[in-house]
Each structure stands twice: as structure tokens, then as C-alpha cells.
Structure 1
Amino acid sequence: MIGYTTVGTNDLQRAMAFYDALFGSVGITRLLELPQIAAWGVNWSKPIFGVAKPYDGSRATPGNGVMIALGQRTRAKVRTLHAKALELGGSDEGMPGVRGADGSQAFYAAYVRDLDGNKLCFYCVGPGGDD
């Protein structure tokens, strides 16, 4: 069920260089690079490790920038989980939608905080059509 994890950074370029070298030493490559996040893994069907600048703009500290991502099979399930979390008293951190380009590797996600403030992401990778 775990799709990926992230840790925070204050210097994404430095972190990418570190993790490129670290993970490269065992044959793991960078799969994603966006302005606020980079991620590494064997492929998109296995758990992925990411490093990100904290979304709230605060300085990264251990814990700030940490998020648990829960992979789903369809965009409909992403929307269902997001809506249910809000219904149960969670708070919205990002409405369901495609992040980046749509297409065969589209990243469709929604973000919430649970009742304790823990950040969760519900996501699926792939084209739409399950709506």
C-alpha cells in the first residue's frame, strides 16, 4: 500500500547530488525531478523515496516535509479517499488532480492532513479514463 515516502530538505540541488550518488551505488536511479521534489526508485511499480522542500515554505527539519503516500489503482479511489478524509475531520492540503503533464505516466494525487496533522497523499499513476 505504501507508494513513496518523502523527507524534507532546504537545498534540493545538494540533496539530489547526495541521493543520486547514494542510490546510484546500488543501481537505483532518479525517476522524478520537479522544482520542489525529486524521487528515486527501481521503477514506478515499486516504493519510491523522495526528498522535497516543505510545502508550507518553512525550513525543513526532521519531520517537516515528511508525508506518507498511499497508492491507489484509480483516480476515482483517490477522490473517494480525499473526500472521506475531509468528511472525517481531516483538512485539505491539495484537491485531487494531475500534477505535471497528463498522459500515460500522469501523476494524479490528492493531499490531506489527518486529525493529528500528519500529511497523507492518495495517488495513482497513469492516464485518466476511470472516471
Structure 2
Amino acid sequence: MQAAVEFYDALFNDTSINKIHAEGRMTLWAGEDFMFALAEPFDGNKATVGNGTMLGFNLNSSTEVEAIYKKGLTLGGTDEGEPKIRSGRFSAYIRDLDGNKICLFE
């Protein structure tokens, strides 16, 4: 959990996404129209990556997509698709330290 929180703290540093809660088993970040949380599972079992699950962050510009994509790789995330136009939108894909797939798009 600590490594995951550190990854997302660093990933969201210098963006409009801010940590709003960090207590107990949950840490939350928020943007203008959304919240994102990391939580230890309620059932006490080990957290696992959801197969076919993807989290998307709608960002303000292609510059921000590129910057967060590069930062994610620097922080130890893995590439799942470099920044480019897909389906009419500028987007990039990474996996976090636990293997969760993240879409960054504008």
C-alpha cells in the first residue's frame, strides 16, 4: 500500500489532482469532477489486479497526458501504449506498480 500511495502521490504531483484523505486503509485523491481511491480490501484478502479493468483520467491537455505518462514510466510503471491519437482522442496507457492499467486522455 505504501509503495502504491507513493507512486500516485508522485504521479499526480504538479497536477490538478490532489490527495484529500489518507487515513487507515484508504487514500483518496480528487480532481474537479472525480475521486480516485486506493484501499486495502474490505474482506482482508490480498488486493489483485482486475483483468479487463482500466482506470481513466481525463486531463486538461495533451502536454499533461505526455508529462504524466513519462512520469509514470520514471516511477516504475510500464508502458501499455505511447501518447498518440486513438479513437479521436489524445491518449496514453501505463500500468502502475501493481499492474493496474491506467488510461491518460484529453
Matches within 5 A, 1:49-64: 63-64=50-51
CA distance in structure 1 between the aligned counterparts of 2:68 and 2:83, rounded to whole angstroms: 10
User: 2:105 matched to which residue of 1?
Assistant: 123
- Residue of structure 1 aligned with 2:72, choices 69, 85, 110: 85
Q: How far did residue 63 of structure 1 move?
A: 2.3
One-letter code aligned to 1:80: A
User: 1:71 matched to which residue of 2?
Assistant: 58
Q: How large is the RMSD of aligned CA atoms in angstroms? A: 2.1
8 Å Cα contact 2:83/2:92 also seen in 1 = yes
Give secondary structure in 2 for the equivalent of 1:73. Answer: coil
Gaps of 5+ in 1: 2-45, 48-61, 101-105, 125-131
CA distance in structure 2 between the aligned counterparts of 1:117 and 1:65, rounded to whole angstroms: 12
- Residue of structure 2 aligned with 1:110, choices 85, 89, 92: 92
One-letter code aligned to 1:94: G
User: 1:97 matched to which residue of 2?
Assistant: 84
8 Å Cα contact 2:50/2:100 also seen in 1 = no
Structure 1 segments, 4+ long, off by >3 Å, are none
Q: How far did residue 64 of structure 1 move?
A: 1.3
Gaps of 5+ in 2: 1-15, 17-32, 35-48
Q: How far did residue 67 of structure 1 move?
A: 0.5
CA distance in structure 1 between the aligned counterparts of 2:70 and 2:78, rounded to whole angstroms: 10
TM-score of the pair, normalised by structure 1: 0.43
TM-score of the pair, normalised by structure 2: 0.53
